[in-house]
Structure 1
């Protein structure tokens, strides 16, 4: 049984204003409350398309496609549903379900997109191209391959950061991690976490140990950005993902979810680097010429 749609005008001829029902919680712009970690919207870093963050019962937040899809179009292994603000990796028995953005992200080639969702993936690719053409979105630079990469900046795109005796995987280079606090203009702070005047941190090679209950990996060491030697308050600032100015103002609201992802050496093995980052890589031919030129 379907409800009758409302009339477009009242009895006196005045138009009926249809109020849009929001399915996700939002932070009041005039309030100073903390971020409601349920259905927070944002844009995916690689493609620029809209996503929604939802927390899971046992793991970190998951990026979901902002719209519900018919369950018949989504394979059973890709169905998600949201209950009481928590995302669950299964269907709820209804004819609608949610979908992780990674399944249809146009910048990802593996795993292959299910045939039922190929059309949605193509439409998201078109949206990404429109955002790039309009100058709204700039895709992150791809890591160069071949000899040209020897002259490029040697730094991981997603570095491993060690703080509070835990290891996390960042979503972007350390120098580009952005503060998540709200400014007085009610937009997100553009200041980075990395500041020259902050206590010094250093890259270090640490054992690439596996998680509890997992076998050790073949790699012996991995490069991490070590914050365990800085003061405890500084580590809390990084964990909260706040710049020094907003770390001193705890009443400022958060406008985004912190990008820290618990590091798993088996799931994130492609982000394990066995050498320390350097500012630049010098080609071996240049090193050889420099040494031969010495008297």
Structure 2
């Protein structure tokens, strides 16, 4: 991984095969932190502009490469196992060739096809390998991502440099979000109307409104690994919420047990600066406050980090039954 890359996704973990058609694909991190499977490079002029993607420092962006004039095509747009009602004329030959390869691998016993018909959205956002029965939706001002589990069970995807395994820390912090009702995204067709009728167009989601907190959630990293540069150990597990595909995870009742614990401290109204200031005792922290504080005083940020780490230690040091 080059130090100038804007992504922590290792190429060896990004190479895969489409589970619907068996075509080799490569996953790349998108500009909006989602991931997209892209084809090898094509000359851009015969490809419709809406299907142009290019890479810059390891991250996928819409449009053709301004230097080479080449582009990459999202695999869902040309997957031979998916239905393409509006397939452009220029790409029909590409899809036909991929379909021929798929049938050849099936005949040779190298690939077991997916029986049910699929749509492009399923190819673009496949579920992670391991998902729980209960899954929660995370929201940021209308952007919805579906977690592979309940929100408090979401695990960091970074590599623990001490043992080379996946980090066991959690992403969840009860102080960084809250449960709120959000709009169910519009879905076309009769099934979409049924979803709106059953839910009233509203559902419960874990809402994060602080962008600084959101960056860590969208990267699916714990506090220790966020911004550390550690490579991802597994593929990104937060996928785009699709109401037609994920309607069974729509919550119509607010989950319980997520209220933050009361602080239990008296509110102190300060008359103003006293002339003295105290610097936070946290390692490497230079936050300060006006007025003289007890020895070992820590700022609110360091206290929050310490509480989070204490919860993590209690979780993983709890004796097994």
In the superposition, the TM-score normalised over structure 2's length comes to 0.44
Give the structure with the larger helix fraction. Answer: 2
In the superposition, the TM-score normalised over structure 1's length comes to 0.47
